[in-house]
Amino acid sequence: MALVRDGTGIGGTARAFWSQVHPVFMTPPLAASLFGAVLAGTVDPVLAAVHVFAMFAAVYTAHVKDGYVDFHVRDEDDDHPLTAAGCHVALGLSTVTFVLCCIALGVLVDATAVVLVVPTWLIAYHHAPQLDTNPVTATTGYPLGIALAVVGGFYVQASTLTVVPLAFALIFLTLLSGVKVIDDAQDYAYDRSIEKRTVAVVVGPDRAYTVAYGLMTLALVAVVGFAVARIFPVTAMLAALAFAVVALVARRADPELATMLLIRGSYVFLAVLVAAVRFDPIGDLV
C-alpha cells in the first residue's frame, strides 16, 4: 500500500507527511494556546505542552483532510504528496495524537478541559467538505478554532473561565473572520465556477472587502473599548493600533498580498497583546 505519490523510503514518506504542516496557518492556533496560558498568569509547562500538541493535531487534521478532499475527491488541486491511503493514515495518526492529548487533559485537569478542546478537532475534520461550502462556516471555522485555543489554553492552567479569555477569544474570532474573507476572495473566480459559496461569491468581491474590513474594524474598536473598561490592559490599545496600520496598507493591495500582510499583522497583534498582558507598561503609568 503506497502512502506517498512521489518519493521512496522512510525519508520520502516523512517529507510527504511533514508537507502537511503549513507554518503560516499552523502558528496562530499554537500561539493562541500559549497566549491563553499566559492570560492565566502561572503557566504549567506540561499542561501548556499537552494543549499545544492537541491544537497541533487538530490543525494537522484540517490540513490533511482539506488536501485529501481537494485533490482526491473534488479534483480541484493539481497535485498532492500523499495518496488517498496516505491521507487516511495521516488522519489516523493525528486523530490518535489528539485523543491521547484529550485523555491527558482529562486526567491532569478535568472533563471541562476536554469539552473545550474537542470542538477544535470537530471543526478541523469537518471543514472540508462540509463547513467550507457555507459562507458563514467557511469564514468562521479557522477563527473559531483559534478562539477555542485561547479559551482552552487558559482553562487548562486556571481550571476556570473569566471574562478576560472569553473577550480575547471574541476579538480573535471577529478579527480573523475578516482576514478569512479576504483570503477567500483570492479564489473568487474559481470558487464561483464550482459554486462554492464563500462570502466573496455570495455578495461579490467589493462587498466582501466591506464586510472584511468592517469585521476587523469592529474587533479593533472592541479592543479599545475593553482596554478603556480595564478588562484588557491599557497597552492592548497598541496592538489595535499596530494591526490598524497593517490593515490600512493591505486595503490597497490585491487579495493575495492583502492576505499575506493581514496574517502577518495578526502575528504582530498577538505579540503586542502578549506583551501587554505580561508587562502593560502603559497601565503602570496610569
pLDDT tens per residue, range 192-231: 887 788 999 999 999 999 999 999 999 999 999 999 998 9
Domains and CATH numbers, the chain: 12-159 (1.10.357), 162-280 (1.20.120)
Higher pLDDT, 278 or 206: 206
Average pLDDT rounded to a whole number, residues 110-133: 93
The Cα 26–Cα 48 span in angstroms is: 16
Amino acid at 269: F
The Cα 188–Cα 271 span in angstroms is: 31
- Cα 51 to the center of its chain, rounded Å: 14
Q: What is the pLDDT of residue 134?
A: 86
- For the cut 90, the answer to whether the pLDDT of residue 170 exceeds it is yes
Buried/exposed code over 56-87 (b: 16+ C-beta within 10 A; e: otherwise)? bbbbbbbbbbbbbbbbbeeeeeeebbbbeebb
Q: What is the pLDDT of residue 195?
A: 75
Q: What is the pLDDT of residue 132?
A: 80
- For the cut 60, the answer to whether the pLDDT of residue 166 exceeds it is yes
- Cα 215 to the center of its chain, rounded Å: 16
The Cα 101–Cα 133 span in angstroms is: 30
pLDDT tens per residue, range 121-132: 999 999 888 888
Q: How confident is the model at residue 282 (pLDDT cuts 50, 70, 90)?
A: low
- For the ranges 96-100, 105-109, 168-172, 281-285, the lowest mean pLDDT is seen at 281-285
**C-beta atoms surrounding 228 within 10 Å:** 11
Q: What percentage of the chain has pLDDT greater than the value 70? A: 97
The Cα 89–Cα 76 span in angstroms is: 21
Whether the predicted model's global pTM rises above the 0.85 cut: yes
The Cα 161–Cα 56 span in angstroms is: 23
- For the ranges 30-34, 69-73, 160-164, 180-184, the lowest mean pLDDT is seen at 69-73
> Which stretch, 92-101, 242-251, 259-268, has highest mean pLDDT?
92-101
Higher pLDDT, 8 or 91: 91
The Cα 269–Cα 253 span in angstroms is: 20
- For the cut 90, the answer to whether the pLDDT of residue 277 exceeds it is no
Q: How confident is the model at residue 281 (pLDDT cuts 50, 70, 90)?
A: low
The Cα 239–Cα 220 span in angstroms is: 9
Place of cell 490600512: 248
Closest CA to 128 of 80, 169, 171: 80
Bridge partners of 82, per DSSP, are: 4
Bridge partners of 4, per DSSP, are: 82
> CA dist 177 to 37, 43, 170, 215, Å?
23, 29, 11, 7
- For the cut 90, the answer to whether the pLDDT of residue 143 exceeds it is yes
C-alpha cell at 139: 469564514
**Average model confidence (pLDDT) for the chain?**
91
Q: What is the pLDDT of residue 284?
A: 54
